[in-house]
């Protein structure tokens, strides 16, 4: 008979895989909390309209969307950003600023599958609303770095590429490009790393052959990899906006340096981000070896809350994806293996002993100990084998003789020593043992 397969790109988490996922989520959650971020959650199914024109062509083309039984056009969320804007927009006046929120949730994109890319994946999203200055970027880049360092990764393993769509807008404006040309050019810049000169095809199709001098100037800007290089290239380009922006850059890099994070951050104007809503600083995290797809991406999006029909509210945020991240941890040997061992294994004689054991087992569990026992009556030998294979450090032995004496045998499974303890001392003895082990 044919069996059912998971849909392509969808993932199942067997217990060992789920233990690894939980470990990652636990440390992300802990890190966000130390930075003063509050956790929120939201629906997985949203009105299709929420993503139309807001997220950008690429995400729009990847939506899992359908018409529900009530005739509504809906989509599985491909990202959290429009949703979190709605949540904040709805209650903007009641929320204390700055609003620092995070979430860990699953997303769906109908993507071509490849290493580190699936059709469903988790993201840790962190966003700050209500802060127009670079203080928000400083805080978020620091959080991003710490979310990776918390697992033992260092600057030798990953780095954050920092760029700025504002600088690109001002620079291309100074080169004489109008808004439509600027957007087409940024889309070319976004693709250049992957596609080389072909990235400019769409620009040429729309606006005629690309002027060689213009292309050279764009490529020179795209190759900027440091603040001095940026200052040098801008020294020949007039414009107050550009000069003011350089001040923001110096302050942001200064903050990161003061936090001891300069070693993680590289100026790299080749990054412009594919999503439509970014307005200012943008950043992406990559593995140093350059073997994996992006670990994380984010930036400022000051217009999105307003575009969704709420009052204007400045915003910055980023998301780390779980798939590339797990690959990096595994490559570096930083993903622990989790052993799901009980603390105590109960070895039980017959039906009477079983009833006696149940009372202790439940009391031990209620006190927080992990206790396991055989579901069915089996020979003692088999139970002892199961006890030692379980990984438990202690076995409690409920035999007829012991119960007749009002005692239970407790066996240290590591050194095989045994002692008899009165029934009413079981919890106290186990507590005492585990306080020393
Ligand atoms: P994004 O760059 O589309 O940004 O995604 C962020 C991260 O999610 C990526 O760097 C990658 O690790 C992971 N990711 C994205 N697509 C997939 C996929 N198909 N399979 C596996 N992992 C994937 C955003 O989503 C923005 N909303 C981030 C943001 C938050 N901006 C502001 N706030």
**Gap between the Cα atoms of 6 and 16, Å rounded:** 18
Share of the chain above pLDDT 90, in %: 90
- Best residue among 321, 325, 329 to mutate for probing ligand 1, ranked by most atoms within 8 Å of CB: 321
Tens of pLDDT, residue by residue over 169-195, are 999 999 999 999 999 999 999 999 889
Report whether 357 contacts 376 (CB < 8 A). Answer: no
- Best residue among 42, 120, 121 to mutate for probing ligand 1, ranked by most atoms within 8 Å of CB: 121
Of ligand 1's atoms, which has the minimum distance to the CA of residue 116?
21
Q: Is the CB of 295 under 6 A from ligand 1?
A: yes
Strand 407-412 relative to strand 394-398, pairing? antiparallel
Tens of pLDDT, residue by residue over 68-78, are 999 999 999 99
What is the domain partition of the chain in residue ranges?
15-42+77-331, 344-436
Beta strands in 155-312 (DSSP E): 158-164, 265-267, 281-287, 296-300
The whole-number average pLDDT for the span 333-357 is 94
Q: Is the CB of 117 under 6 A from ligand 1?
A: yes
Report whether 269 contacts 224 (CB < 8 A). Answer: yes
Reported confidence tier of residue 1, pLDDT bands at 50, 70, 90 = confident
Q: Does the domain at residues 344-436 carry the CATH identifier 3.40.630.30?
A: no
Q: Is the CB of 324 under 6 A from ligand 1?
A: yes
Count CB neighbours of 106 within 10 A.
13
Q: What is the pTM of this model?
A: 0.94
Nearest Cα residue to atom 18 of ligand 1: 117
SS (H, E, C) 304-340: HHHHCCCCCCCEEEEEEEHHHHHHHHHHCCCCCCCCC
Report whether 109 contacts 119 (CB < 8 A). Answer: yes
Tell me whether the CATH fold assigned to 15-42+77-331 matches the one assigned to 344-436.
no
Report whether 125 contacts 105 (CB < 8 A). Answer: yes
The whole-number average pLDDT for the span 217-232 is 95
Q: Is the CB of 111 under 6 A from ligand 1?
A: yes
236: pLDDT strictly greater than 80: yes
**Gap between the Cα atoms of 138 and 259, Å rounded:** 9
CATH fourth-level superfamily of 15-42+77-331: Bira Bifunctional Protein; Domain 2 (3.30.930.10)
54: pLDDT strictly greater than 80: no
Q: Is the CB of 158 under 6 A from ligand 1?
A: no
The whole-number average pLDDT for the span 379-407 is 95
List CB contacts of 204: < 8 A, sequence separation 6 or more. Answer: 210
Q: Is the CB of 346 under 6 A from ligand 1?
A: no
Q: Is the CB of 190 under 6 A from ligand 1?
A: no
Tens of pLDDT, residue by residue over 99-126, are 999 999 999 999 988 888 999 999 999 9
Q: Is the CB of 323 under 6 A from ligand 1?
A: yes
pLDDT (0 to 100) of residue 58: 79
The whole-number average pLDDT for the span 40-52 is 95
Average pLDDT of the residues of the chain: 94
- Best residue among 83, 106, 123 to mutate for probing ligand 1, ranked by most atoms within 8 Å of CB: 123
């Amino acid at each position: 008979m044919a069996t059912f397969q998971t849909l392509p790109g969808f993932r199942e988490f067997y217990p060992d895989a789920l233990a690894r996922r939980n470990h990652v989520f636990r440390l992300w959650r802990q890190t966000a909390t130390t930075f003063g971020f509050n956790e929120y959650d939201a629906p997985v199914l949203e009105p299709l309209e929420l993503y139309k024109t807001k997220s950008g062509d690429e995400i729009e083309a990847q939506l899992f969307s359908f018409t529900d039984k009530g005739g509504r056009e809906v989509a599985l969320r491909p990202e959290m950003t429009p949703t979190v804007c709605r949540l904040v927009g709805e209650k903007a006046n009641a929320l204390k600023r700055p609003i620092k929120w995070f979430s860990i949730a699953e997303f769906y994109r109908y993507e071509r599958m490849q290493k580190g890319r699936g059709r469903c994946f988790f993201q840790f999203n962190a966003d700050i609303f209500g802060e127009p200055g670079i203080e928000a970027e400083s805080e978020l880049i620091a959080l991003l770095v710490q979310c990776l360092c918390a697992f033992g990764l260092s600057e030798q393993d990953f780095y954050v590429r920092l760029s700025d769509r504002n600088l690109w807008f001002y620079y291309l404006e100074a080169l004489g490009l109008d808004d439509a040309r600027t957007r087409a050019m940024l889309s070319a810049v976004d693709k250049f790393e992957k596609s080389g000169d072909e990235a400019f095809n769409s620009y040429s199709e729309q606006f005629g052959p690309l002027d060689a001098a213009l292309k050279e100037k764009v490529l020179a800007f795209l190759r900027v990899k440091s603040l001095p290089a940026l200052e040098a290239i801008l020294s020949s380009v007039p414009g107050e906006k550009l000069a003011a922006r350089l001040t923001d850059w110096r302050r942001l890099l200064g903050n990161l340096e003061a936090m001891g994070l300069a070693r993680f951050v590289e100026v790299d104007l080749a990054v412009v981000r594919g999503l439509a809503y970014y307005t200012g600083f943008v950043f992406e995290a990559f593995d140093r070896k350059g073997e994996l797809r992006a670990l994380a991406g984010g930036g400022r999006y000051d217009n999105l809350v307003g575009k969704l029909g709420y009052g204007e509210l400045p915003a910055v945020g980023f998301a780390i994806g779980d798939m590339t991240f797990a690959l990096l941890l595994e490559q570096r040997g930083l993903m622990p293996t989790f052993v799901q061992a009980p603390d105590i294994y109960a070895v039980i004689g017959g039906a009477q002993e079983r009833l006696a054991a149940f009372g202790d087992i439940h009391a031990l569990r209620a006190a927080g100990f992990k206790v396991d026992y055989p579901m069915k009556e089996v020979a003692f030998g088999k139970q002892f084998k199961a006890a030692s294979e379980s990984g438990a450090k202690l076995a409690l032995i409920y035999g007829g003789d012991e119960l007749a004496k009002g005692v239970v045998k407790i066996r240290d499974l590591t050194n095989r020593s045994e002692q008899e303890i009165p029934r009413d001392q079981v919890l106290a003895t186990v507590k005492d043992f585990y306080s020393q082990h």
